């Protein structure tokens, strides 16, 4: 069985194409769970509602998790609450970007 933590680590491979940074470190992923049946559920946001890379990022999330052994399905839930701000970034990434 795949744990939520393993799934979260796998999502480090998914990058925001505009920033070139992974979606975990920039704080776009709020929650990742995997049921006993292997159904993965990701609650995430984007840097803005008009993010041109949104569909691409969400598809990358689906594909990355679907490739994990034991994952039988992937649901990506896009939310706008809480709204993303740079404060959600990993502090090291925020410092790297000068925030």
Confidence of residue 76 (pLDDT cuts 50, 70, 90): very high
Q: Report d(CA 99, CA 89) in Å as an integer.
A: 9
Token digits of residue 62: 């689906």
CATH 1.10.10.10 fits 4-88, yes or no: no
- In tens, the pLDDT along 33-74 reads 999 999 999 999 999 999 999 999 999 999 999 999 999 999
pTM of the model: 0.93
- Domain map (residue ranges) of the chain: 4-88
Q: How far apart are CA 24 and CA 67, in angstroms?
A: 18
Q: Residue 72 has what pLDDT?
A: 97
Alpha helices in the chain (DSSP H): 4-10, 54-66, 91-97
Per residue in 83-95, pLDDT (tens digit) is 999 999 999 998 8
């Amino acid at each position: 069985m795949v744990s939520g933590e393993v799934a979260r680590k796998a999502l480090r491979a998914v990058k925001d194409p505009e920033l070139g940074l992974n979606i975990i470190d920039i704080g776009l992923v709020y929650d990742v769970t995997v049921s006993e049946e292997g159904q993965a559920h990701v609650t995430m946001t984007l840097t803005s509602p008009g993010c041109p890379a949104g569909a691409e990022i969400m598809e990358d999330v689906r594909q990355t998790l679907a490739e994990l052994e034991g994952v039988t399905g992937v649901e990506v839930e896009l939310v706008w609450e809480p709204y993303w701000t740079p404060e959600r970034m990993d502090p090291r990434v925020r410092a790297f970007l000068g925030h």
